[in-house]
Amino acid sequence: MVRFELNNGTTSLLEEIGLSNGDRSRLAREIYPNMPYVSGTKWTENFAFFKAEGSQINIGLGKGKALEIFNSNISKFEKVEY
């Protein structure tokens, strides 16, 4: 397992290109009320997917722009013993 530290503002940058599962999740609708839904969209190249799972939001990075934003904002990483 690896722990990443990211530059301040990284989540905000991902939110700018975010899609949510708010059409299926009350939590996602509450946290990101103005974020478009992922429904019917191929999101992996151009978007970040803010997906409510249980009581948390996970951010899918896909393989395009969101992943580039994440990778370019890594300030530190370390192996975590699990």
Which residues touch 21 (CB under 8 Å, ≥6 apart)? 28, 37, 38, 49, 50, 51, 52
Which residues touch 26 (CB under 8 Å, ≥6 apart)? 52
For the cut 90, the answer to whether the pLDDT of residue 76 exceeds it is yes
Q: Where are the beta strands (DSSP E) in 1-82?
A: 2-6, 18-20, 48-53, 56-60, 74-79
| Residue boundaries of the structural domains of the chain | 2-79
Q: What is the pLDDT of residue 75?
A: 98
Q: What is the pLDDT of residue 30?
A: 96
Q: What is the CA radius of gyration of the chain?
A: 13
Which tens digits make up the pLDDT trace of 11-55? 999 999 999 999 999 999 999 999 999 988 899 999 999 999 999
Q: What is the pLDDT of residue 13?
A: 98
Place of tokens 């190249």: 45
Q: What is the pLDDT of residue 82?
A: 81
